[in-house]
C-alpha cells in the first residue's frame, strides 16, 4: 500500500534514539526528506549519515527543544534546506518523573513548550503545504494514573488536549493534528532497559500488567505515527491513537 509520503518533508525532534529515531528512519524509508534534531551533535551527525542510504535529503542539528530561540532557528533553517515542511513530529520528552519543582519546570519547558514552540515555528510552512500534518507524542501515562503521575503524566495529558484543539482550529486550513500515546516501549539504552537492570521489581510489575506479555518496540510506535502523518490518513484529525498492546483499561471516549 502506497501511503503517499514520497517527496514530502518532515521534522522530527529527538530523532537519534528510540521512538524518534524509528519515526525518522521509517519516514526516510518511505521517501520523505527529513530534518531531525537531538542534543548530542555527534549522534545527530551519525544518524544523518546512516539515513542517507535512503536516497532522501537528511538534515540534522544539535538542538535543545527547551531552548525556544534555538528551536525556532532550527525550524526556519529546515524550511530553507528542505524547501518547505509538510510534517511535524513533536517527540522529545524530558522524562520528568520526580514530583519536584525541577521536574515540573523541565516537563513544562521540554514536553509542553517544546511541542507548542515547534508547532508555532513550523506553522507558516504548514500553511503552504498541501499535505500538512502534525503528530505529537503523548503517553499512556497521560490517560491513566501510574508511577509517572507527576509532571510526566500531567504534561502528556496536556499534549493530547492541545493537539485536539489544534485539530479543531486548523481543520479549515487543511492542517491535520493527531497524537500517539505509546505504551511501555523497550529498546537498548531506553528507560525500560535501564529499569530492567536498575529496578527489576518495577520492570517485572510493568511487564506483568500487559496482557500481551511484552512491551512495545520503537518500530511499532513509529508505524502508527507515520500512518497518521501520511496522506492515507487524510480524514483522521483530532484523534489520540493509543499503541499499548491493551495495557490501559480505561475506555477512551
What is the extent of the structural domain holding 73?
9-188+218-242
Active site annotation includes 129? no
Average pLDDT over residues 145-168: 93
Give the residue, 146 or 230, on which the prediction is more confident: 230
User: Of residues 125, 138, 179, 230, which has the active-site annotation?
Assistant: 138
The H-assigned helical ranges of the chain are: 18-29, 41-51, 68-82, 101-106, 113-128, 151-170, 191-198, 200-209, 218-229
Q: Which percentage of the chain shows pLDDT scores above 70?
A: 100
User: Residue 42: pLDDT above 80?
Assistant: yes
Predicted confidence at residue 19, as pLDDT, reads: 98
Predicted confidence at residue 147, as pLDDT, reads: 78
User: Residue 20: pLDDT above 90?
Assistant: yes
Q: Which percentage of the chain shows pLDDT scores above 90?
A: 86
Average pLDDT over residues 6-32: 98
Active site annotation includes 138? yes
- Give a yes or no: residue 225 inside a domain: yes
User: Of residues 152, 162, 186, 203, which has the active-site annotation?
Assistant: 152
What pTM, to 2 d.p., does this model score?
0.96
Tens digits of residue pLDDT in 48-77:
999 999 999 999 999 999 999 999 999 999
- Give a yes or no: residue 159 inside a domain: yes
CATH number of the domain residue 149 falls in = 3.40.50.720
User: Residue 148: pLDDT above 90?
Assistant: no
Domain count, the chain: 1
- Give a yes or no: residue 162 inside a domain: yes
Active site annotation includes 230? no
Q: Are 60 and 45 in contact (CB under 8 A)?
A: yes
User: Residue 253: pLDDT above 80?
Assistant: no
- Give a yes or no: residue 179 inside a domain: yes
User: Of residues 9, 156, 179, 230, which has the active-site annotation?
Assistant: 156
- Give a yes or no: residue 197 inside a domain: no
- Give a yes or no: residue 39 inside a domain: yes
Residues making up the chain, counted from first to last: 253
Tens digits of residue pLDDT in 183-207:
999 999 888 899 889 999 989 988 9
Q: Is 205 exposed, middle or buried (0-12, 13-18, 19+ CB in 10 A)?
A: exposed
- Give a yes or no: residue 205 inside a domain: no
- Give a yes or no: residue 28 inside a domain: yes
Amino acid at each position: 500500500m502506497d501511503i503517499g509520503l514520497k517527496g514530502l518533508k518532515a521534522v522530527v525532534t529527538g530523532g537519534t534514539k528510540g521512538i524518534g529515531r524509528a519515526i525518522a528512519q521509517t519516514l526516510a524509508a518511505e521517501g520523505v526528506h527529513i530534518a531531525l534534531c537531538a542534543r548530542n551533535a555527534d549522534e545527530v551527525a551519525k544518524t544523518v549519515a546512516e539515513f542517507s542510504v535512503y536516497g532522501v535529503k537528511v538534515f540534522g542539528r544539535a538542538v535543545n527543544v527547551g531552548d525556544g530561540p534555538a528551536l525556532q532557528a532550527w525550524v526556519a533553517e529546515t524550511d530553507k534546506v528542505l524547501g518547505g515542511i509538510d510534517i511535524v513530529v513533536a517527540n522529545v520528552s524530558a522524562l520528568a518523573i520526580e514530583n519536584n519543582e525541577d521536574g515540573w519546570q523541565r516537563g513544562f519547558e521540554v514536553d509542553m513548550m517544546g511541542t507548542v514552540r515547534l508547532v508555532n515555528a513550523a506553522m507558516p510552512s504548514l500553511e503552504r503545504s498541501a499535505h500538512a500534518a502534525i503528530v505529537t507524542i503523548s503517553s499512556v501515562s497521560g490517560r491513566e494514573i501510574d508511577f509517572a503521575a507527576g509532571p510526566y503524566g500531567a504534561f502528556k495529558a496536556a499534549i493530547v488536549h492541545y493537539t485536539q484543539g489544534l485539530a479543531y482550529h486548523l481543520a479549515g486550513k487543511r492542517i491535520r493534528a493527531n497524537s500517539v500515546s505509546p505504551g511501555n516501549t523497550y529498546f537498548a539504552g531506553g528507560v525500560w532497559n535501564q529499569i530492567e537492570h536498575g529496578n527489576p521489581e518495577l520492570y517485572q510489575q510493568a511487564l506483568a500488567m500487559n496482557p500481551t506479555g511484552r512491551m512495545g518496540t520503537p518500530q511499532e510506535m513509529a508505524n502508527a505515527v507515520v500512518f497518521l502523518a501520511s496522506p492515507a490518513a487524510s480524514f483522521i484529525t483530532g484523534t489520540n491513537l493509543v499503541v499499548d498492546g491493551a495495557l490501559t483499561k480505561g475506555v477512551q471516549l
